Chain A
Amino acid sequence: MQPRTIHLTKLFLLLSAFVIVALLIYGMFGSRFYNTRNLISMGFQVGEFAFLCMAMAIAMLTGGIDLSIVSNMNLAGILAAYVLTNEALLAGTSVGTVLLLAVTVALVSGLAGGILNGLIIAKIGVHSVLTTIGTMMLFAGFGMILTGGRGVVGFPDAFSYVGNGTLLGIPFPFLLMLLFFAAVGFLLKRSRWGRSLYLYGSNPIASKFSGINNAGTIVTTYALAGLLTGISALIMISRTNSARVGYGESYLLQAIVVSVMGTMDPHGGSGRFSGILVSVILLQLLSSAFTRLGITPFARGLVYGSILLLIIIAYETLAGRSVTIGKERPPRAAGRPVDSM
């Protein structure tokens, strides 16, 4: 047999894990899990989370992190909810206009939050961890001031399409997710912003010396993350038919799990965006399987935390190596000792 070398890239490891998990689930549940109804149900659930993961992933590409995505999402949702439940508006204009306004408000709110993050990080120069801790508190606090902790409920029926409607039988949020995955992935790979982003994450100083506008890159990145968060908010409030502070707190850790698992390097500058899609679906499969098994939120946290650790350990130790199957061993690669002096 011809010896073949398999390069253990992160994406390869991830896909392997995906296949293993998918098969395990099949083994455990068979067609009780893999049937149209269940798949459609998962398709509805995965939407809002996927957008949060996309936001986290692009923040991580800068070498930073965005801890404010959940608070941002909730705030955007609350503001949109106020529009949707505003008596005066509903009486005065058509439902369509109100919906449009609500969508705009959510997007603008998410965008504004993201721009705030970007400006503080890029223009003032505060580390992303500290900035987004601060803005997380700011957004959550603002939401608290507005709502006093109470949920905002009672949206027009038409709005429920966002989170619950289907197009050609496929859940609308799922299609939205695919659309944006393709769009953002395309931009990352082919746009100037994407290239600047990867270069920045790789070496911000060299980028500066190359004449690349670092501040612009960062603000754009966090702004886009904010926009994606706004979309997530719309899906979320449509599905739950309410908006309140404190929703989805467990999403933050999970989004980080998905980003790291999806091959994003926390140091920035590398990661395949397609890995995020694989990760999101993988986590959705796990989540649904857990629900089926009746596992409590705490135990789920345990599993997600363990997965996170296992993933980073695996990537740290395995990724980059090569495995050879077959009789012959390839010659040991010649290496020069690094001249550190």
Chain B
Amino acid sequence: MSRLRNSRLGTFVGRQESVLLLILLAYGLLVGTVNPTFYKLDNLFQIIRASAGTMILAMGALVVLASGGIDVSFTAVAIFGGYATVRIMMASGIDNILFAFALSGIFGMVLGATNALVIHRFRLQTLIATLGTQSIFVGVMTLIFGTKFVPVGDMPDSIVWFGTEPMLTLTMPGGAARLTWFVVPMILMIVLTWFLLNRTLIGRTVYAMGSSREATERAGAALWKTQAFIYMYVGMLAGFMGIVYTAHVRSLNPISLVGDELFVIAAVVLGGAKLTGGVGTVSGTVLGVLIITTLQTTLILIGLSSSWMRFFVGGILLISVSIMAIRTNRENLRNLIFHSE
């Protein structure tokens, strides 16, 4: 019985994940020692709240990276979905949080389908293609909906409620600990992504594509179906995130959010996904996002201003991918493998 549990745990927590977990815990200890307010439960709940949006996006980005592609348009999709949905809700008077998620998710899927169509039909390099679609999505959004800033006063109530009201309040010795509603979509998306990637054929086909596109074609798999799934899925998730983001900042500036996509990709790569595809786990991605978010939110606690954030994230990313690269290259050198990656 114990052997079964060990083996399952062993495959669940791979080598990369163990290292990340250690880093996370070590960093947590460091911060907590310098500033014990870190250990407050409320603080941990705040970290979860801060990471929810990125986490949802990262799940989508993981699927894309696992297939061997890179998508940088998902932030544009997210802001499109969020902004469009809010403006429609304001105009129509519908004020329901589930409606918000559904509508934004649909917008996301439509935009994702556009990505899939363009990429598959013309076999384009995904990075450059999605750089193009990123601006196109933002441009179309401003054309249709304009660039009006939506202050909290005009926001639909359900969204404000979703972002303000806690799902759970625990009375702790140091004060109240409030757990946000964001955990619901966040955990749902983590579980859904895990299920799709590990327990469905289309999910395994995603990994297959990233591992060997040619072998996938020879196996008779319909690549276009898989591409459509990938980009529509990441689009849908981006749409969901758009609502979470809107609820989080409680206002809506259409110029925001785009530009953060590289942070999300950095988190997913930190979590063990490879740019070349075929590799990457949900647990690793979760850890990668947690590490980056914790870093972002706790720099102030250890006395560094937020200006240092980008610098640190960049540095950590470089160090972590360098370590991975050195390890791979040393192995390749020993086995006389001469591929560039």
Stretch in B90-98, B140-148, B240-248 touching the partner: B140-148
Contact A124 B307 (CB under 8 A): no
**If the complex has contacts A136-B262, A298-B142, A312-B128, are A304 and B135 also in contact, measured as CB distance less than 8 A?**
yes
Contact B147 A312 (CB under 8 A): no
A42 is an interface residue with CB less than 8 A from chain B: no
Chain A stretch 282-334: residues in CB contact (< 8 A) with chain B: 296, 298-306, 308-309, 312-313, 316-317
**If the complex has contacts A302-B139, A305-B139, are A133 and B265 also in contact, measured as CB distance less than 8 A?**
yes
Contact B322 A298 (CB under 8 A): no
B329 is an interface residue with CB less than 8 A from chain A: yes
Interchain nearest-CB distance for B108 vs A (Å): 18
Chain B stretch 275-322: residues in CB contact (< 8 A) with chain A: 275-276, 305, 307-315, 317-318, 321-322
Stretch in A103-111, A138-146, A231-239, A269-277 touching the partner: A138-146
Chain A stretch 231-254: residues in CB contact (< 8 A) with chain B: 249, 253
Contact B322 A145 (CB under 8 A): no
Closest residue of A by beta carbon distance from B70: A129
Interchain nearest-CB distance for A101 vs B (Å): 25
Closest residue of A by beta carbon distance from B262: A133
Contact B123 A302 (CB under 8 A): no
A11 is an interface residue with CB less than 8 A from chain B: no
Q: Specify which chain A residues have a CB less than 8 angstroms from the CB of B307 in the assembled complex.
A: 141, 144-145, 148-149
Contact B329 A125 (CB under 8 A): yes
Contact A253 B135 (CB under 8 A): yes
Stretch in B45-53, B152-160, B194-202, B333-341 touching the partner: B333-341
Q: Which of B276, B314, B338 has the most chain A CB atoms closer than 10 A to its own CB?
A: B314
A72 is an interface residue with CB less than 8 A from chain B: no
**If the complex has contacts A131-B318, A296-B142, A312-B122, are A253 and B131 also in contact, measured as CB distance less than 8 A?**
yes
Q: Specify which chain B residues have a CB less than 8 angstroms from the CB of A149 in the assembled complex.
A: 307
Q: Specify which chain A residues have a CB less than 8 angstroms from the CB of B310 in the assembled complex.
A: 137-138, 140-141, 144
B30 is an interface residue with CB less than 8 A from chain A: no
Q: Which of A127, A133, A204, A313 has the most chain B CB atoms closer than 10 A to its own CB?
A: A133
**If the complex has contacts A130-B269, A316-B122, are A301 and B340 also in contact, measured as CB distance less than 8 A?**
no
**If the complex has contacts A149-B307, A302-B136, are A129 and B124 also in contact, measured as CB distance less than 8 A?**
no
Q: Specify which chain B residues have a CB less than 8 angstroms from the CB of A65 in the assembled complex.
A: 127
B111 is an interface residue with CB less than 8 A from chain A: no
Contact A298 B147 (CB under 8 A): yes
CA distance A309 to B128 in the complex (A): 8
A178 is an interface residue with CB less than 8 A from chain B: no
Q: 14 A-B Cβ contacts within 8 A?
A: A126-B318, A130-B269, A135-B314, A137-B313, A137-B315, A138-B311, A144-B311, A249-B259, A298-B142, A299-B143, A301-B138, A309-B118, A312-B124, A316-B124
Instruction: Using A126-B321, A137-B310, A298-B147 as known contacts, list a sample of 15 further A-B pairs with CB atoms less than 8 Å apart, ordered by residue number in A.
Output: A126-B325, A127-B321, A129-B70, A133-B266, A140-B314, A141-B307, A141-B308, A144-B310, A148-B305, A149-B307, A266-B127, A266-B128, A301-B136, A309-B124, A312-B129
Q: Which 9 A-B pairs have the closest CB atoms?
A: A302-B139, A141-B311, A137-B314, A305-B135, A141-B310, A301-B135, A138-B314, A134-B318, A308-B132
